[in-house]
Amino acid sequence: MVIRCVLEALVTSHQKLIVHRDIKPDNCFLFSDNLADTKLGDFGICAEDNGFNCVGGIKGTKGYMAPEILKKQQYGRKVDIWSTGVLAYQLLFEYLPFPATPAKTTMSLFQSKPKLTFPDMIPISTEGKDFISKLLADDPDNRPTASDALAHPWLL
């Protein structure tokens, strides 16, 4: 439910050409005991993405930032899709999919193209793995839009 709510918020913000840039648990707000009442908040570092002058700069929270941000490349709305994939993974497994260690910074981690793995101790369906893998595609062009992610069978 939380991921569905985040994606619904992203559909709206992305239609308005707004990139959130800081999707993480601390920015998902519950207004009742019902997870369907989750709201995405803290648009404090959001930026406009008009498709021509993509946003830039290293903004966001370590562990949730997309590879293109860490590589100091131009980026757009797909960074929010990446962060939503990290959030989905964390909600399921209680840790980040690509944790940095003191010896290996997050930036150097993505220069080596880490492989996404799923722990065996917590079962997840093939559809769930497919959903998270698509959101965490290294190439932003291979990530779904928020609307397409909402239509994924795992969320239906």
User: Where in the sequence numbering do the catalytic residues fall?
Assistant: 22
42 is in an annotated binding site: yes
DSSP states of 107-138: HHHHHT-PPP---TTS---HHHHHHHHHHT-S
The two three-digit tokens of residue 73, written as one number? 């490349």
Cα 13 to Cα 36: distance, rounded to the nearest angstrom: 18
> Which stretches does DSSP call E strand in 31-120?
38-40, 47-48
Which residue has 């928020």 as its token pair?
146
Q: Are 76 and 84 in contact (CB under 8 A)?
A: no
Nearest alpha-carbon partner for 4 in 50, 25, 41, 35: 35
